[in-house]
Structure 1
Amino acid sequence: MNKAETEYPAQSSNTFVKGVFIGGLLGAAAALLFAPKPGTELRSDLSEKFGTASDKTKELTGVVTEKTKSLASTVGEKASDLASTVSAKASDIFTTVADSKQQIASTLSETGKKIGDTVTDSSADVADDVAEASKEVSDEAKKATKDVTDEAKKASDDVKSTYKSNY
């Protein structure tokens, strides 16, 4: 390394990227200056190519926007379905707990020995209902996640195919 390199080390690849960008601009300017076509023809060709690229970009933007709205709608519907399922299961659990509570109270008034058995049975019922409801909610969530993932993949594939067919 020479003295200048040790005193002023390279910052990072940032300097290189700037150099490549400036070199690209200078190359483009030189290509325009030494182009075999007259200026008006060259400007006309450039304008036409820019218009084509602009139209394709607008078209692709429309497709992406449409797919994004569709995906957002699907996610909203799935989230709403999942929320209603969770609400219904929570209501079922609450009803089961309330029913079990009434069973426990009546059993306590009958006999002391049956108290332990009834409490155990009711607790098992509640635990089974909670486990079952939890599994059902989990299954619904997995299904909704898979549906959303499938929709997202389909939208991504549609955008890719649209992009590939346009270019």
Structure 2
Amino acid sequence: MANNEDNKMAKGFLMGFLAGSLIGAVIALLYAPKPGKELRSDIKQKAANLKKDAEEYLKYAKDKAVQIIQEGKKQSEEILTDAKKKAEEILGDAEKIITQVKEKTIEEGKKVKEAVQAGIDAYKQERSS
């Protein structure tokens, strides 16, 4: 988020700087005592320089955007990989717990069955005596 705001501020600063430079250059050239042909040539040269500066900034901005996008992709891939690992760990732990609960349930079920059978046997023995 901070990078986005920094980029907006940098873009705004550059655009203001370029516009101010262009206006300042035109005003300076208009007030300079030069013949019309020389003045037009100077204005044309200044405009070409500003265009070149703007193209360089645009290339820089594109390169920076590509870099930021690549970093974002890398970070999201790392987060996704970490999330998958955590999910696998959690599923593994859950499977262990389920297995333990099953085993405990079977064990307790056997104990209950044995206790019921012992109760039945004791009842039968008591009745027959």
TM-score, shorter chain, exceeding 0.5: yes
Q: Which protein shows a greater Rg?
A: 2
Q: Percent identical across equivalent pairs?
A: 12
1:82 maps to what in 2? Answer: 7
Please point out which of 83, 88, 93 is paired with 2:18. 93
Instruction: Answer yes or no: is the 8 Å Cα contact 2:30–2:39 preserved in 1.
Output: no
Instruction: Answer yes or no: is the 8 Å Cα contact 2:25–2:46 preserved in 1.
Output: yes
Instruction: Answer yes or no: is the 8 Å Cα contact 1:85–1:137 preserved in 2.
Output: no
Instruction: Answer yes or no: is the 8 Å Cα contact 2:29–2:43 preserved in 1.
Output: yes
**1:67-112 C-alpha deviation (Å, 9 max, x unpaired):** xxxxxxxxx23322322222222222223222322233134x4212
The list of structure 1 runs, each at least 4 consecutive aligned residues, that deviate by more than 4 angstroms after superposition, is none
Higher RCO, 1 vs 2 (CA within 8 Å, ≥6 residues apart):
1
2:58 maps to what in 1? Answer: 134
**1:41-68 C-alpha deviation (Å, 9 max, x unpaired):** xxxxxxxxxxxxxxxxxxxxxxxxxxxx
Query: Would you tell me which structure has more helix in proportion to its own residues?
Result: 2
Calculate the TM-score normalised by the size of structure 2: 0.59
CA RMSD after TM alignment = 1.9
2:85 maps to what in 1? Answer: 161
> SS at 1:152's partner residue?
helix
Calculate the TM-score normalised by the size of structure 1: 0.48
Residue 15 of structure 2 aligns with an amino acid whose one-letter code is A
Runs of 5+ consecutive residues of structure 1 not aligned to the other structure = 1-75
Runs of 5+ consecutive residues of structure 2 not aligned to the other structure = 92-129
